[in-house]
Amino acid sequence: MSVQGATSPYYDPYDVDINADPYPAYARLREEAPVYHNERYDFWTLSRHEDVEKALLNWRTFSSTRSDILDIIKAGVALPPGVMMFQDPPSHTKHRGLMARVFTPRRMAELEDQVRAFCIRCLDPLVGSGGFDIITELASMMPMRVIGMLLGIPEADQIAVRDKTDANLRTKPGKPMAVREENIARGDVFSDYIEWRSKHPSDDLMTQLLEAELEDDSGVVRRLTRQEILTYTAVIAGAGNETTGRLIGWLAKVLAEHPEQRREIAQDRSLILRVIDETLRFEPTGHATARFVMEEVEYYGTTIPAGSPILLLLASANRDPRRYAAPDVYDVHRDDIQHLTFGYGLHYCLGANLARLEGRIDSFELSSELPWTNGLLERFRRDDDAACDTSPGAGDGMCDACPITSGATSDDEMFVLRGTRLELPE
């Protein structure tokens, strides 16, 4: 069902037509139905920035204990312990504190040289080529390599581990995710690695998790159980792969579509951090996060009953004209590019700095390796042969590959990459 022509706003996170461009649907929700109920799937939404931001802070009413993915909440399955995205205080506070100790800014910074070297290794063979698929060659590879570096997974195994992890979150176009309790953050694919690392400690996150201590809900200070370590590892691997890959793809797309700003960035690299956050605002890597309503709450004269699943529409909030001037315009010179893509409050993404690091390096190297400054990055083509449904409203579910392609193919819209590697100024 399409929004166009409807007598009242309609929003369905599984609708392929809506997902192709959800922003008109979001705009109608904000203006006509800021609190909205989808009768077919029986869930609610909030779409205005102020409402979404406050709801993210109000964990007592909008709980994460049933998951932050709509499909999992609706399935009503038991969730594994130790998944901090599926927790509220006080358990969340303890588990997030543990993760913060092993996921430090220092460790993220230490990865920069390795991340840059891998990015250059991906791009160097492509310079001067007829074209390439930026998702296949870079966006689907680099986040996996970075997570592999963090966890200590051998490079030869990383693609297989990524594919097994992603398969558990895969959706089919137009349909909710098929939820199987045994697949939720179980981490069984990492069992052999953790067993080996327990006998061969190193300077990686698996070793730190094996050695970490936690005060559990009964007040006992103890080491993590093996299942808890598997769960933590699965969460890190799953969260760090797909969303960062999407960021890399969107960076290429929006910069291809905004050549004047692209040239400014090539001339003034201090803008790159602004590019990352404006891209995250304009085209977020995840469009919504789900919560479970613990107590009856009222918005605009409408009561949301206790026990309801609700989607907080982050992508809609990021384009709310009540919060941003000209929200549908991509502008790296905005005075305030704060966004809700990484969440807000106690569930703010722990991996935000890592995602920004990868995005910053990709933007820098792409604008160095490829001659954007000369206007030779001409047109952009998205390959629509793959029936794509990212189901943005449902949470973090994802579809089959949605390739972003550069290069010349027949008469399709495209952008063409020519030339050789440019030398960077000192």
Q: Which two tokens stand for residue 341?
A: 């893509």
- What the chain holds in terms of domains, given with CATH numbers, is 16-407 (1.10.630.10)
Which residues are CB-contacts of 263 (< 8 A; sequence separation ≥ 6)? 372, 373, 375
pTM: 0.84
What are the phi and psi torsion angles at 223 (to 5°)? -80, 160
List average pLDDT for each run of 10 residues in the chain, which is 426 residues long: 64 94 97 97 97 98 94 89 85 86 79 90 81 85 88 85 72 78 76 92 89 84 88 80 88 89 88 95 96 98 98 98 97 92 92 90 75 35 38 40 32 27 27
CA distances from 234 to 140, 148, 166, 239, 302 (A): 18, 12, 10, 8, 39
Which DSSP symbol is given to 308? -
Please give the pLDDT value at position 149: 87
DSSP-derived 3-state class of residue 100: helix
323-348 confidence digits (pLDDT tens): 999 999 999 999 888 899 999 999 99
Please give the pLDDT value at position 182: 66
Question: Are the C-beta atoms of residues 318 and 281 closer than 8 Å to each other?
Answer: yes
The residues pairing with 68 across neighbouring beta strands, listed in sequence order, are none
Interior angle at CA 228, CA 224 and CA 230, nearest 5: 120
Task: Give the burial string for 156-170 (b: 16+ CB within 10 Å, else e).
Answer: eebeebbeebbebbe
Please give the pLDDT value at position 263: 87
Q: Is the peptide bond before 90 cis (omega within 30 degrees of 0)?
A: yes
